[in-house]
Amino acid sequence: MPGWVVRSAAREFDDDMSTTTVIVGTGPVSFADVLAVTRDGAAVTLGDDALAAIDRARAVVEELAAAPTPAYGISTGFGALATRHIPTEMRAQLQKSLVRSHAAGSGPEVEREVTRGLMLLRLSTPATGHTGVRRETAELPASFLTHGITPVVHEYGSLGCSGDLAPLSHCALALMGEGSVRDASGTLMPAAEALAAAGLTPVELVAKEGLALINGTDGMLGMLVMAIADLRMLLRTADIAAAMSVEGQLGTDRVFAPELRAIRPHPGRALSAANLMSLMADSAIVASHRTGDCNRVQGRLLVALFAPGARRCPRHGGVCRRGGRA
């Protein structure tokens, strides 16, 4: 199966980790929230609305666990064992075994930012109040993120649309005090040691919790958010480079004019062209082409030579902006 792309070694956070705190509520986290946690080391806490929703959902799970009617993943096994009744005294062990059996990733270690995004987005699901985990189980991943504790997750192990099972299981394993993690300085150590150093207690999983912690596609989503953020930065940089090239060749911005964009009104292209004109709005070189002193023949010759490249910048940048909604 294809693995996750590893761009570079896991980076360390500065000793003065971000003082920003992302509050995870019942609603979705934003792009800015994901980037603050993954790349700026922001702390994470659960909002009061999320805590209330978590408590309500757990009460429902407790009712199902006590009922004589089988409930999948609570009083039954998983997959082919969905019809197998699990005795009450074995249900906690079932959740632990589920996590341990799926924590089987392989290959290089993925970047810290990838794992932090994975943990944040997984946390946002229990926060909606639809998974049935206990409050203390949901709060521990937030504490990991706040203390800069990052479970070791490997490149291979995601099942694509069927879920990031192995990556999420490695994170859940660390919450249990098992497996390996990196602390805020990037030092590799056993999860139990990192928990103890941070004053945290490993979670003892109960019915439904193992399933809730590992069933999702949060790793892929986190990487997509960061890829889109990188694309947006790349497109802005490309526009700046294009504007500098126009200036460097003593060119004009007329090839980006609104009336020309209106002929082919593609939204991404128009946005790119407008950004280029904005970047050159205060350019003395561009302004010189609008005065009577400008040598029109020379200017037109220069534009003719340069335009085949310059006028295509919004076209290429526009396609990328349209595809990435950047």
What tokens appear for 64 in the block?
């199902």
- Strands 21-24, 43-46: pairing kind: parallel
- Local structure of 154: helix, strand or coil: strand
* Dist. CA 290–CA 212, nearest whole Å: 64
Give the three-state DSSP class for 43: strand
Chain centroid offset of residue 268 CA = 24
Q: Is 72 a catalytic residue?
A: yes
User: In whole angstroms, what is the distance from residue 197 CA to residue 191 CA?
Assistant: 10
Where helices occur in the chain by DSSP H, the ranges are: 31-40, 48-66, 91-102, 112-124, 135-147, 165-175, 191-197, 209-214, 218-248, 258-261, 267-279, 284-288, 296-310, 313-324
CA–CA gap between residue 38 and residue 44 (Å, rounded): 11
Catalytic residue among 32, 72, 236, 320: 72
Distances (CA, A) of 301 to 95, 167, 287: 73, 58, 17
Hunting for tokens 């959902």 — which residue is that?
57
Round to whole Å and give the CA distance between 125 and 271.
Answer: 35
Residue entry with tokens 């009083």: 75
Structure tokens at 143: 């504490």
The answer to whether 174 and 151 have CB atoms below 8 angstroms apart is yes
Q: CA-based diameter of the chain, in Å?
A: 91
Measured CA to CA, the distance from residue 196 to residue 177 in angstroms comes to 9
Both tokens assigned to 201:
């207690």
**Per this entry, what is the length of the chain?**
326
Active site residues: 72
